[in-house]
Structure 1
Amino acid sequence: MGNLISASGAASWVYGLQDVDRAIDQTLKEHEKHERAKLDASLRVAKREHVEGAKPGHEPVPVLSWLYLGDRYTIRDQEALRNARIAYVLQVSNVETPEEVKAELKAADIRQYLRLPAEDVETDNIIMEFDKACDFIDLGKKAWDSGDEYHRVLVYCDEGVSRSPTMVLAYLLHQGWTLKGAVHYLKRLRPAIAPNKGFFEQLLEREHDLFGRNTLSASDYNKLFLE
């Protein structure tokens, strides 16, 4: 008889299951809403890139002898790419570059193109792409070391503010720079850079992994990028 459930206990158990079902249903709806928003944003970016062209003032920004930084307008300027001796293009985005833009890159004598997926949100694990980005940028360094005239790598994202600067900072760490030195250097070259807070914390993680210490802390973020 000890295993019998009272009527009130059974009712509570059923209501408990209903609460779980409602919570699961609500979570699924929120997930679907988030995925639809991401898709809509991707479609808007893709549509915009189909009609946009180059714009003055968006030329590739030199960072190192073999490394340049840019945005979505930079890659539409074939003359600027040729003048900068860009041979490799690294896109940091969840949105695939339109085929006509790839054709323009080919016409600008780009040898290799790579897109690494990243969404400009604090929860994106962009650190997972750091090694791939560094390997790709090193193609430019090897070409530069060999005396190849067309050796430079352009790293770009939509605005050239968060994702692509994060990859460039990760590469400077890869080259032995401290994060503090790299951030101040890159901000002098392109004052608008502002990796989102989650990306900055992942750069701190990478610096600690490489050198066993940090030259900045998470509390430095506002002073560096928001003030």
Structure 2
Amino acid sequence: MSAFEVTLQQLNDLLTDDRGFYSWPTKHVHEVYPRIFVGDAFVATNTTRLKSLGITHILNAAEGNSFMHVNTSAEFYAGTGITYHGVAASDTDHFDISVFFQEAADFIEEALAYKNGRGRVYVHCREGYSRSPTLVTAYLMLRQKMDIHSALATVRERREIGPNDGFLYQLCRLNQTLAAEGMLWNK
């Protein structure tokens, strides 16, 4: 096994405590990487809180109307100066979130470059636990050239997360692809 090959078990071990339990997020929002915030629907729908955090861009990883989704849109943020982008992802093992990895990474990169590098992006889903941290992890891999373990650990150090196994598997596939292309740093 190469340095870039990672198993689902290794990733789940990274996300759980020494007894194998996942932790639920302790706050509604956490800054997981400079100027990248991950959080839940509570903050996503509170424009006053978003403005106090200096958020310039929102990536909704759970766009839609069902119980599993957060029903916001560009119109919801009209007049706030916040740029919105939505991804209609479902938090299920069989959902292919990888089709949004590049699109989400492009949006996050655009957000961070805003106003000469002073943009701040809020990436959220319903709970800020599975979909949004998956997209931020993919961004760190695609744009910061982190391997999956480093990227996931970076987010996990700052927020309690638990991407479903299907999403973790898709991140593993991305890791293998980027490693094969020489696009990751090897520690």
- For the criterion TM > 0.5, the same-fold answer is yes
**Distance of 1:147 and 1:100 partners within structure 2:** 24
Q: How does 1:142-181 map to 2 (within 5 A)?
A: 142-143=113-114, 146-148=116-118, 151-174=119-142, 175-181=144-150
Instruction: Please give the TM-score of this superposition, normalised by the length of structure 1.
Output: 0.61
**Distance of 1:188 and 1:116 partners within structure 2:** 25
Identify if the C-alpha distance between structure 1 residues 109 and 122 changes in structure 2 by more than 3 Å, giving closer, same or farther: same
Q: Aligned residues, how many?
A: 152
Say if 2:161 is the partner of 1:189. no
Identity across aligned pairs (percent)? 29
Deviation at 1:196, TM superposition (A): 0.5
1:78-123 Cα offsets, whole Å, 9 max, x none, are: 23211221111111125155469943x335431x111112111111
- Show structure 2 runs of 5+ residues with no match: 1-25
Deviation at 1:209, TM superposition (A): 0.8
**Distance of 2:27 and 2:128 partners within structure 1:** 13
1:188-219 Cα offsets, whole Å, 9 max, x none, are: 2112x111001000000001111129x9xxxx
**Max Rg structure:** 1
Residue type of the partner of 2:36?
Answer: L
Say if 2:51 is the partner of 1:82. yes
Deviation at 1:143, TM superposition (A): 1.7
Residue type of the partner of 2:177?
Answer: D
**Distance of 1:90 and 1:147 partners within structure 2:** 17
CA contact (8 A) 2:89 2:95 kept: yes
Q: How does 1:2-17 map to 2 (within 5 A)?
A: none
118-127 vs 79-88, greater mean Cα deviation: 79-88
Deviation at 1:76, TM superposition (A): 2.2
Q: How does 1:135-146 map to 2 (within 5 A)?
A: 135-143=106-114, 146=116
- CA-based RMSD of the aligned residues comes to 2.5
Deviation at 1:68, TM superposition (A): 1.1
